[in-house]
Amino acid sequence: MIQIKDVTKLYPAKESGNGTGKDNNGSSIHALDHISLHVAQGEWLSIMGPSGSGKSTLVNLIGCLDRPSSGEIWLDGQNVAGISAAELNRVRCEKIGFIFQQFHLIPFLTAVENVMLAQYFHSMTDQKEAAEALTRVGLGDRAHHLPSQLSGGEQQRVCIARALINDPRIILADEPTGNLDAQNEEIVLRLLREFHLQGRTIVMVTHDPVVARLADRRIELHHGKIASQEIFSMADEEQLDEVLEELWVLAENGEIAEAHDHKPFVNPCHEALKPVAVSSGDGTLIVELTPRGRERAGSIIRRHRLAERLFTDSLAMDSETEIEQQACKFEHILSPEATDKICTFLGHPRTCPHGAPIPPGPCCGISSASGARLIEATRSK
């Protein structure tokens, strides 16, 4: 979704007595120094680093608020580094939602008018839609208040409603909880988690390591360079993979019972799983796979069953336990490219050696909808 290639951003070093804002000896500040970075669609990236390390500069460049001095910035397949200011505006309106630490609300416009102003820049104003956006962030009853009549947390939620009005695929948040109390921080983070579940790509600057941990990955900037990078908790991820796998097989075999007599939950607890109900009888928790969870479970199952096929058909392994053990390892380590290569090599098999269906992948030329039908068909068999 976001591809940054060798990007540098120079600012002229301000020198005393010069007054032009330009340096006279050719020195300048490297706010970003030959940075390359890739953010996948639906990924949540957090950026940390000391003050002045280039975090806001990076976010502003991704957000088409500014252009790099050199390098390329690809957003959703388009290089925005060299396009005109008018085009930059259009890309920003279409693809980007901004959440700033300083909320940047217009002080003499009410909450709903601030949201409508964003609509105006995007397409057409629609008060009903703007009011609905405010309701979604829990501000339905504050629509006609001025920013000065709202708390910091409420102003940040207006800012979020405004960011969402164009249904952006990329959300950029520069210290979104920097000025908030604990309760409002919780609300804002819950909204970000929801956007992540909806499959939006999020780039978030934060000083708080606990907040950073909500992301899929964290990078740290020092002096305009990426100093370190951390992908969060492989072990946890693998455990989750196991749970997803089990849920998938249960659903495939029609073994998840219908829920009766339940109380709905509202908060998502994980990007892959969402509690939907708890039975008032015995307190059993009922969870549902989110679209991301379903996609992820499907791809783990695909890796596992393709590995089984590979070991059985091509490597002629015959010990059931050995095959199972190896497949359990492979399901965690196969890259999407390697998985597609194995699938193609095996001639896109539709079932594992035990006859269970293999969810089709991008290489199979079958849409995931027909993949779902395939599973429906096996289930009704």
Beta bridge partners of 202: 44, 171
CB of 114 to ligand ADP, least distance (A): 24
CB of 22 to Mg ion, least distance (A): 23
From 5-13, 53-61, 70-78, 87-95, give the range in contact with Mg ion by CB under 5 A.
Answer: 53-61
CB of 156 to Mg ion, least distance (A): 16
Q: How far, in Å, CA of 162 to CA of 112, rounded?
A: 9
Residue number with CB closer to ligand ADP (25 or 51): 51
Residue 202 near residue 45, CB atoms below 8 Å: yes
Beta bridge partners of 201: 170
From 40-48, 55-63, 113-121, 208-216, give the range in contact with Mg ion by CB under 5 A.
Answer: 55-63
Residue 277 near residue 266, CB atoms below 8 Å: no
Angle at 107 between CA 105 and CA 113, to 5 degrees: 70
Q: How far, in Å, CA of 191 to CA of 159, rounded?
A: 12
CB of 48 to ligand ADP, least distance (A): 9
Residue number with CB closer to Mg ion (56 or 201): 56
From 14-22, 40-48, 49-57, 317-325, give the range in contact with Mg ion by CB under 5 A.
Answer: 49-57
CB of 195 to Mg ion, least distance (A): 21
Residue number with CB closer to ligand ADP (33 or 94): 33
In the chain, DSSP assigns E strands to: 2-12, 28-39, 44-48, 70-75, 78-79, 96-99, 170-174, 201-205, 217-222, 225-231, 262-264, 273-279, 285-289
Q: Which partner in ligand ADP, Mg ion, none is near 53 (CB below 5 to 8 A by kind)?
A: ligand ADP
Rg, the chain, Cα only: 24
Residue number with CB closer to ligand ADP (60 or 378): 60
CB of 12 to ligand ADP, least distance (A): 7
Residue 111 near residue 142, CB atoms below 8 Å: yes
Dihedral (Cα; 214, 219, 220, 223), 10-degree rounding: -140
* DSSP 8-state secondary structure symbol assigned to residue 18: T
Q: Token pair for residue 120?
A: 């105006």
Residue 46 touches Mg ion, criterion: CB under 5 A: no
Q: Which partner in ligand ADP, Mg ion, none is near 29 (CB below 5 to 8 A by kind)?
A: ligand ADP
Residue number with CB closer to ligand ADP (224 or 361): 224
Burial class of residue 76, CB neighbours in 10 A (0-12, 13-18, 19+): middle
Residue number with CB closer to ligand ADP (168 or 178): 178
Cβ neighbours of residue 328 under 8 Å, at least 6 residues apart?
304
Q: Which partner in Mg ion, ligand ADP, none is near 359 (CB below 5 to 8 A by kind)?
A: none
What are the residues binding ligand ADP (CB under 6 A)?
A: 11, 29, 31, 49, 51-57
| Dihedral pair phi/psi, residue 171, rounded to 5° | -110, 125
Residue number with CB closer to Mg ion (177 or 290): 177
CB of 85 to ligand ADP, least distance (A): 16
Q: How far, in Å, CA of 133 to CA of 117, rounded?
A: 13
Question: Which residue in the set 56, 114, 119, 290 belongs to the binding site for Mg ion (CB under 5 A)?
Answer: 56
The amino acid at 346: L
Q: Which partner in ligand ADP, Mg ion, none is near 114 (CB below 5 to 8 A by kind)?
A: none
Q: Token pair for residue 106?
A: 């217009």
CB of 39 to ligand ADP, least distance (A): 18
Residue number with CB closer to Mg ion (144 or 222): 222
Q: Which partner in Mg ion, ligand ADP, none is near 31 (CB below 5 to 8 A by kind)?
A: ligand ADP
CB of 176 to Mg ion, least distance (A): 12
Q: Token pair for residue 199?
A: 């499959």
Q: Which residues bind Mg ion (CB under 5 A)?
A: 55-56
